[in-house]
Structure 1
Amino acid sequence: MIPGKGSLKSHHKSKSIKGVSALKAGVIYGANASGKSNLIKAIDFGKMTVLKGTKPEQPISTNFYKLDKKFLKKPSYVEYEIQHKGKNYAYGFILNSKEIIDEWLFEIGKSGETKIFDRKNTTTYDLDFLYKKNKLNEEKQFLEFTAKGTPRNQLFLTQIRNTNVSDNVSNITDILNVIDWFQNALTVIYPGTKNISKKFELHKDTNLQQVFNEMLDYFDTGIDGIEFKEVDFEKMDIPSEVKEDIKNDLFSQKSEKTSAFLSNPQDDKYYVISKIDETTVQAKLLKTKHKVIGGEFELFDLKDESDGTRRIMDLIPLIIDFFSGGNVFIVDEIERSLHPNLVKDLFEFILDKCDDINSQLIVSSHEATLLTQKLLRKDEIWFAVKNKDGATQLHSLEDYNVRFDKEIMKDYLLGRFKGIPKLGSKNQLTFLPIKDH
């Protein structure tokens, strides 16, 4: 998501940090089974590996490329280049199902890079940069002790997150910045997620009811407003582990989230759970209002609304967080249950208002109405294509010589940019009846 040479739509680029800008949007196209979702799963895999870690003596949960047997024994390489807290970082790791082989963190700029730490051959660490930032002997010893105590199947970042390293050393800001990006900035949303629980930031002066009313009116849902009904959080019919996850995240000192939006398939209802103080959460059931004949209002549960309206409800916390700034959203199949015009309106709405907002929305989609240079830059449009070996490769519209005024939807559907299904011949289907002519 680094900008190409194009100068149009400059407000789609983040403010340069040490000579590096990032794009605020990206749309990935491709045929079914082209690998779009695998890309998103890989991004999520790295996040979960950092935040959840691996239990002692347990294998690392990995999936390997199965169409080439030699890859079953090859390690996987994952790297993120991110922009966060006013700095640019490259963080990555190499692993197999048994251990972390390599791990590294660099601060990067236009003219070079600075090594924050490096881990090689599972147990060999280069912490010289951190030693210079933390000059007391006991600080250096604590860092060394933490590194040596990191299990072979655990990331150094995860070990730091799970221990009280920041209480015992004076400066590991760069590591904490990267952990914060995974915990508070990166959100991955799948189309069929159950027990959807999205934590989002809510400023004290935000009127959540007004935000929902305005957004539902903007997207023409036919809803005349919403109301919140307070309920007992502990008596809500949701799994106990989901409740614990919400409370742990809202109460975590490392979390910036103040509220959670919960879509509960158990009772088909939507809730907003907010942190009241350091030990108390408040749950409110969301109901929609519809005007009935005679001017009164009837309250509906979300189960009575259309799939499209419920999908919009899922996206409202995303919109709130996008305009809070500093957040990255990865959404798989964003068009699921949404009218094509709504998908396009969502992008127009976000990109039209993003001048001073450094957030990012990256989606996979089949929705061809987004394929217009009036909406997106060429470097914001990507295609996922399988090669002859079944492996996915990504390429951008920027790779093609396409004029700005050229409408590209038709060319895409005709296959010029690849990324569309190659259908076989109907005449080769043996189960179909043969017609006599």
Structure 2
Amino acid sequence: MKIQEFSFGNFKSFKEIQTLNLSAAKIKSHNKEIDVNNVIDENSNLFLKTKAIYGANASGKSNIIKALATFIRIIKTSIKDEDILYLVDSFRLSTKTENEPSFFQLIFWHNNIKYRYGFEVDDEKIYSEWLYSTPKKRELPLFIREGKKIIELDKKNYNEGYKLVSLFEEETEENEIFRNNSLFLSTLATFGFGKLSKDLINAIGSTIIISGLGHQGMFRFAGDAITNSEKKKYIVDFLKYGDVGIEDIDALDVPEIDSEESENEDETKKELTKQKKRKLLISFRKKYDENLKAVENESFPFSSNESEGTQKLFELSPFIYEALKNNRPIIIDEFDARFHPLLTKKIVELFNSTSNIGSQLIFTTHDTNLLSNDLLRRDQIEFVEKDQFGASHLYSLVEFKGIRNNASFEKDYIQGKYGAIPFLGDFDKLINSVSNA
């Protein structure tokens, strides 16, 4: 799947509808190579490989990631989880929007066909839902839903939708198709004949979203990944190239001992084979003799010995492997946290390289070292800024007129030319208040 645009509005700190655009603009960069390397050319449709999102603390950067994560989770689980709409959180600093639905829409390409899918929803019900496709030049509405009614349905191009509606000639409160808090697309995907719907949900759901640091699920996923020889080699090489000093890594299965059972040692021993096992990660580093000659590898417990930066790199590596190998989009919040600037740059270069033929990386960051016209195009740089009324706004560097191709993006950003920087108060007063206390 290739993401072209993601639009959302009335969600958390975003009042108006904003659009994160991954279509490549018709621009020429200072470094001509990045106009080729940083763009995916798929049948003359041009998509950006990476998108960096900048902004001050609390500007709303993470809410962009949360909006996309919420959109995907509702699509994947609205049938199974009737309470999933609790994730929807409208902009509450305006009486105009606090009781209005949130808006979500994704324009994406799958199997060389352009789709536009979205819905309006609050924390209780779905107000509207729509799916369009553009198999050729003209966009076709496959279905449009308002409330509990399907008001338009393309029998020829979306026959599975017609089949499902035909199963229920009369609308009733028990009709699961028109349940207030379930999506029509998700409902269709549960039926054997809903092949296109299921395929589209799988495509949208292939997006990898990493929000927050130190998530236990990420650590377990990485631990499981090294049981696969191909993935393990990639992860170990990733750590080596990251210059963290690790030569190898392995996972040992150890039993999880319940604290109550461990009080009785004999009983515990009897139960060891019945209990669930967990993986104990071991890292290996070179050991040297008195002549500084490497003699062997020394093992260490990974979680207690390795730095937080090394652990994050380990956790992230299998997701990067998965994204690049299977051309999946990957979205990372706080991308640069715990990483050296040179390391974040190398990872961005990895996605912008010619070896990446189909994966897209979207990330939030404060790392201004990435604001280089030798690394990113102007349309790959996005900013988020809050106005005086507490509403976040999203805009791209490519929207600014008069920016020279060889301009110093980093210098101009720090100087406030593009906005999206904090307006800091007089910290000297804090020092004086302490010294005078």
Question: Could you say which TM-score interval applies, normalised by the shorter chain?
Answer: 0.7 to 0.9
Q: Call closer, same or farther: CA 1:110–1:282 in 2, change over 3 Å.
A: farther
SS at match of 2:25: coil
1:58–1:318 CA distance, 2 compared to 1 (3 A): closer
- Does residue 1:402 correspond to 2:367, yes or no? no
From 131, 141, 150, the counterpart of 1:115: 141
Which secondary structure does the structure 1 equivalent of 2:325 belong to? Answer: coil
Which among 177, 186, 189 is matched to residue 199 of structure 2?
177
Q: 1:59 offset after TM fit, Å?
A: 6.0
Asked if 1:29 corresponds to 2:29, the answer is no
Identity of aligned residues (%): 27
What is the TM-score normalised by the length of structure 2?
0.78
Give the aligned partner of residue 211 of structure 1: 234
AA aligned to 2:113 is K
Shift of 1:109: 6.4
For residues 61-81 of structure 1, what are the alpha-carbon distances to aligned partners after superposition, in whole Å with 9 as ceiling and x for unaligned? 321212112211111111111
| Deviation readout 1:273-305 (Å, 9 max, x if unpaired) | xxxxxxxx9975432111223412221222210
- Which of the residues 68, 75, 83 maps onto 1:43? 68
User: What's the secondary structure of 1:153's corresponding residue?
Assistant: coil
How far 1:58 sits from its partner (Å)? 8.1
Q: How many Å apart are 1:199 and its aligned residue? A: 6.0
Taking only aligned residues, the RMSD between alpha carbons, in angstroms, comes to 3.3
Is residue 86 of structure 2 the alignment partner of residue 91 of structure 1?
no
Partner in structure 1 of residue 183 of structure 2: 155
What's the CA shift string for 1:212-255, capped at 9, x where partnerless? 221111111111122233456xx599xxxxxxxxxxxxxxxxxx
Q: In the alignment, which residue of structure 2 is the partner of 1:66? A: 92
Change (3 A) 1:15 1:3: same
Separation in 1, partners of 2:355, 2:434: 56
Matched AA of 1:39: I
Q: Tell me the SS of whatever aligns to 2:154.
A: helix
1:365-404 matched pairs, under 5 angstroms: 365-400=365-400, 401-404=402-405
State the one-letter code of the partner of 2:380. Answer: E
Local SS of the residue matching 1:424? coil
Q: Which amino acid aligns with 1:160?
A: L
Distance in 2 (alpha carbons) for counterparts of 1:73 and 1:136:
31
Structure 2's unaligned 5+ residue stretches are 1-21, 259-275, 290-294
Q: 1:132 to 1:341 in 2, by over 3 A?
A: closer
Judge which range, 100-109 or 222-231, deviates more: 222-231
Q: Of residues 225, 249, 255 in structure 1, which corresponds to 2:248?
A: 225
What residue number does 2:416 align with? Answer: 415
Q: Which has the larger radius of gyration?
A: 2
Q: TM-score, normalised by structure 1?
A: 0.78
* 3-state SS of 2:124 partner: coil
Rate the CA distance shift 1:434–1:297 in 2: closer, same or farther, 3 A.
closer
Counterparts of 1:413 and 1:108 in 2: how far apart (Å)? 42
Aligned to 2:281: 286
Q: CA deviation at 1:412?
A: 0.6
Q: How many residues align?
A: 380
